[in-house]
Amino acid sequence: MNSNETHFCTVCHSTMKPKKKYKGSFATEIVVWLVCLLLAPFTFGISLLIAIFFSASRQFSKSLVCSVCDSLNIVPKGSPAARSYLDKTNLSTN
Ligand SMILES: [Zn+2]
């Protein structure tokens, strides 16, 4: 078993290395930055703070998802939930 596979998906029942997924789109962030840069001279830079805050909130809102099916319903492989699933399917966690 690959040691990189740290999480277990309770939806597609696969062990995998989860992906990081950001909430909101990158395109939205670009638009926010462009608008805030354009408005910066008129708002004495306050709009830049808004853009920085927007980017920061996106960084903090990232979540781990299943790399197979994009589900948020993943648990660490060693957790009791994962073990009970793996026991049902007769797979060993080691
Ligand atoms: Zn999955």
CA 74 to ligand 1 centroid distance, Å: 7
How many angstroms is it from 20 CA to the middle of ligand 1? 13
Q: Do 32 and 48 belong together in one domain?
A: yes
Do 30 and 56 lie in a common domain? yes
In single-letter form, the type of residue at position 41 comes to P
**Full domain range(s) for residue 33:** 24-61
Q: How far is the CA of 17 from the centre of ligand 1 (A)?
A: 11
- Chunked mean pLDDT (size 10), the chain, 94 residues: 82 93 86 95 94 90 92 92 79 52
Q: Give the pLDDT confidence score for residue 84 in this predicted structure.
A: 86
Q: Is residue 36 domain-shared with residue 48, that is, in the same domain?
A: yes
Q: What is the pTM of this model?
A: 0.60
Q: Do 37 and 56 reside in the same domain of the chain? A: yes
- Could you tell me if 30 and 13 lie in one domain? no
pLDDT for the residue 90: 62
36 with 53, same domain: the answer is yes
How far apart (Å, rounded) are the C-alpha atoms in residues 35 and 72?
32
Q: In terms of domains, do 71 and 54 share one?
A: no
Please state the domain count of the chain: 2
Distance, CA of 94 to CA of 83 (rounded, Å): 11
For 11-60, give the DSSP string: TT--EEPPEEE-SS-HHHHHHHHHHHHHHHHHHTTHHHHHHHHHHHHHHH
